[in-house]
Amino acid sequence: MTISTKIEKYKLRVINFCTILVTFLSAQIFDGVILFTPMGELGEESFTTYLLDQNSNVLNSWPHERGPASMPYMLPDSSFIYPYRVENPTMTSGGVGGGIRRIKWDGTIIWDYKIADDTYQHHHDVEPLPCGNILVIAWERKTAAEAYEKGRVEINNVLNEMWSCAILELNPFTGNIDWEWHLWDHLIQDVDSTLENFGIISDHPELFDINLGNVGNSGGDGPNADWIHLNSVDYNPELDQFVLSSRNHDEIFVFDHSTTVEEAAGHSGGNSGKGGDILYRWGKPQNYGRGEDSYHILGTQHGVNWVPVGYPGEGNIIIFNNRHQGGNTATVIEISPPIETDNNYFISEGDPFGPDTWAWIYDDDLVARIQGGVFRLPNGNTLITEADSSHIFEVDPSGNTVWDYRYSEGVPIPIARAQKYGYDYFEQNYEISLTIENDEKWNIVGLPVGIENNDVNDLFPNALSGTCYEYDESYSLAYSLVPGNGYWLRFSEEGSNSLEGVPIDSLSVFLSEGWNLISGPAYTCEIDDPNGIVILGTLYGYSGQYFNASELQAGMGYWVRANGDGYIVLKARDD
């Protein structure tokens, strides 16, 4: 059954959903389904994610025992990513989360990870990546002593802490953090000239002033040390960049994701050549000592996203601005960032980043104290969520409302953000079957599909038990397979095995200096080596004997040699 067939099947189910009010105002609506999770039910400690069609029919719903940290994200196979609030977070403030799950259409939990320890606490948003990994927003706990050593002048909270921010890239296949970025590596101060991060703040818009703003407060959830308060993250696959929104500092920031972990901690490297420094920032240039008050446009904003390629306004950034230009009303604004041909961003010496105004605005009596979101749709319409009033609606490019929906009447139940997906998003049948042939005796194999059971004996039942080996400077027995890794496996005779699962289109694979055993995605691919670590001519396959290879075949493993540590990308060829 294809994914689109699943949805059409469930469109026949009309569930009496008495708390909703939906209005059609025009035939210009983008045809699709809407996914959202209210922050709680009236009078109950229960939480549910809903998938609706435009006639208010509930196509599917998923109950949760823990409430949402932000919004859910649907995947093309009809599963979805759900960030949620753990029972005992290690740091608590608005938007606290700590848990991330992937849930199937039938409600089965595929995986469940928690990021809530003494150092890191997930909060608010996550972002699924094309390779299957997840970008996670996290607080990073720092002591007052650590902050003072970096040049912070004052810590004004009873915890005597400073929660900085980090972006962690979770690999759900392994549970590892494959990549990370830390604001703590990109700070500047103009107070103590004896410290290495001393400088003139207005000369360094690529760095963040450690003395900017207060650190924490004594809010409704108790005292906290929240400094930056990131609330949303979005990824641009064409640029390999990510954008963050800081509520506390009225700014959005763009960073390079193509870096290694080491480069992300520094000021050079990656496609931009600037490491993990800020590539672009917008909303309040006074934060880096530039611009007049009129340039302070953002206020406690949420929901920052790029407009995808192929959509009207492609490449622009669209933002839900909760307090527009310091006022008490919200707007949706779209800006055209000054991107250059090398994917860096233009800025004149002494001036703030442009633009000085928006390319498009929607400002029709929006009010949102908490959260809120906006997404551009493929036909040029825009989906807007007013979180406080649980109001989701769609406007055309002229600002006319073409679809309007309220989850609850009377006392609203907040909805952080909603997203709309076209039916063609689900058209592909993501369940495939690959036949992997094997030689007698030793073979190098890999796992090119996402699958719930990755036990080697179940994947390759005709292999000899206890003969699966992985390599990391030395050999060790392996009992389960991880996509991207290669494995030696022995068979008593020639044969074949069928692997069924979700095809993996691309992989980000970490190489250590020296020899590595790797495998590719579900389709023929070549190595993309952005950091130049692969030694030319060292990709070898094995079929009774070694052979030099120029590409990777699905299900086969390969040796490759690197001249240093770093990541390569294995992505299916366009043909």
Coil, strand or helix at 287 = helix
In b/e form, how buried is each residue of 37-60, taking b as 16+ CB within 10 angstroms? Answer: bbbeeeeeeebebbbbbbeebbbb
Residue 481 near residue 458 (C-beta atoms within 8 A): no
Q: Which residue has the tokens 């900085």?
A: 164
pLDDT on residue 387: 85
pLDDT band at 219 (very low <50, low <70, confident <90, very high): low
Average pLDDT over residues 499-503: 85
Q: For residue 303, what are the contacts with CB-CB under 8 A and spacing of at least 6?
A: 231, 232, 245, 319, 320, 371, 372, 373, 374, 375, 385, 417
Average pLDDT over residues 223-243: 96
Residue 345 near residue 337 (C-beta atoms within 8 A): yes
pLDDT band at 502 (very low <50, low <70, confident <90, very high): confident
pLDDT on residue 6: 44
Q: Which of 103-107, 213-217, 311-315, 448-452 has the highest mean pLDDT?
A: 311-315
Hey, what amino acid is at 359? A
Rounded Cα–Cα distance for residues 96 and 78 (Å): 26
Number of Cβ atoms within 10 Å of the Cβ of 470: 18
Dump pLDDT digits (tens) for 78-87: 999 999 999 9
pLDDT on residue 366: 84
Has residue 424 got a pLDDT over 90? no
Percentage of residues in the chain having pLDDT higher than 70:
93
Please give the mean pLDDT across all residues of the chain: 90
